[in-house]
Amino acid sequence: MATITENAGQATPSALPGAPRTAPRWSDLLLTALAPASWGTTYVVTTTLLPPDRPLLAATLRALPAGLVLLAVTRRLPHGSWWWKSVVLGLLNFGAFFPLIFFAAYRLPGGVASTIGSVQPLIVTVLSLVVLRVRPSRWVLLAAVIGTGGVALLTLTAEARVDPLGIAAMLTATSLMATAIVLAKKWGRPEAPPLVQTGWQLTIGGLVLVPLTLALEGVPTSVSGTNLLGFAYLGVIGTAMAYVLWFRGIDRLAPTSVSLLGLTNPLVATLAGLAVLGQTLTGWQVVGFAVALGALVAGQTLGRKS
């Protein structure tokens, strides 16, 4: 199914599935970047507002309420092949991804999790080459490698706790989202706006999580007002709004360009730690911040010219 490009305000199919636009607009890049930027606050919200050690509950309450609200507002269901495609993408993006992310957040320092997540552009690059037959420019690839190195300098410290299960969960989650990005680009999009697609996938992922949550974690005995605030923030800002922008970006941008925007996640996570948790930066971490930010900007700028 062909992807969509814009020409003089009209949407027209591109020549190849997954083919990027020759010159994506900066507005598309900035709007898409708001999604991973909002996800950069997930670690702080999880550790300060959510009940401890309940990754499945956190994943379910982040996905299902937002999905049901979007479904009720849009009042549209998938049709044809988009039933099974929505199931696959819903499981990759939410049903499996969310529990793994929260599991990693409970077991790893934010720095370690961010470093693992920053390899996503490299995974997307490999998958795009294999699945879409799209060869990224050397500048984008170089930016992805340098950006990962910058995130490592920024987030890894001598005190970082390494938990093997947490690392495995984060690496798996990163790979699942990378796969979802490439599959979404390969399949194109249904005749439905991103708001509708987001509702489908969130609802599917949330419904899958409900029985798992009840069986493995059970119903919490109490939920505080602080917990409700955290769930509401993640559901509305970090999920419903963020994924509408994310899916919009997947439709309009090259897969590697989208994944490279994920570097905003650890950058925002660092700023959130400074502002909320009172953390400080060493000299090397400042260097890492500058390198990661520079790689993000350079990757998008040079990628447009190649």
Q: Give me the pLDDT at residue 19, please.
A: 43
What global pTM score does this model have? Answer: 0.77
Q: What are phi and psi of 224, to 5 degrees?
A: -85, 170
Q: Give me the pLDDT at residue 270, please.
A: 73
pLDDT in tens, 265-275: 777 877 777 77
Cβ(288)–Cβ(150) below 8 Å? yes
Question: Is residue 92 included in any domain, yes or no?
Answer: yes
Question: Is residue 108 included in any domain, yes or no?
Answer: yes
Q: What are phi and psi of 78, to 5 degrees?
A: -65, 160
Q: In whole angstroms, what is the distance from residue 222 CA to residue 297 CA?
A: 45
11 by DSSP, 3-state: which? strand
Directed axis angle between helix 97-107 and helix 110-117, to 10°? 140
Q: Give me the pLDDT at residue 154, please.
A: 58
Residue 214 amino acid letter: L
Angle at 206 between CA 200 and CA 209, to 5 degrees: 145
Question: Is residue 117 included in any domain, yes or no?
Answer: yes
Question: Is residue 3 included in any domain, yes or no?
Answer: no
Question: Is residue 14 included in any domain, yes or no?
Answer: no
Which domain range does residue 213 map to?
Answer: 37-305
Q: Give me the pLDDT at residue 298, please.
A: 62
**Which residue positions in the chain have pLDDT lower than 50?**
1-22, 306
Question: Is residue 20 included in any domain, yes or no?
Answer: no
| Sequence-distant (≥ 6) Cβ neighbours of residue 62 within 8 angstroms | 98, 231, 234, 235, 238, 239
Question: Is residue 15 included in any domain, yes or no?
Answer: no
Overall domain count for the chain: 1
Question: Is residue 13 included in any domain, yes or no?
Answer: no
pLDDT in tens, 99-140: 999 998 888 766 667 667 777 777 888 888 888 887 766 766
Tell me the CB-side half-sphere exposure of residue 141, using CA atoms within 13 A.
11
List, as one string, the DSSP characters of 46-70: HHHTSPTT-HHHHHHHHHHHHHHHH
Q: Give me the pLDDT at residue 123, please.
A: 83
Q: Give me the pLDDT at residue 162, please.
A: 65
Q: Give me the pLDDT at residue 14, please.
A: 37
Strand partners, 275: none
The single-letter DSSP state of residue 10 is E
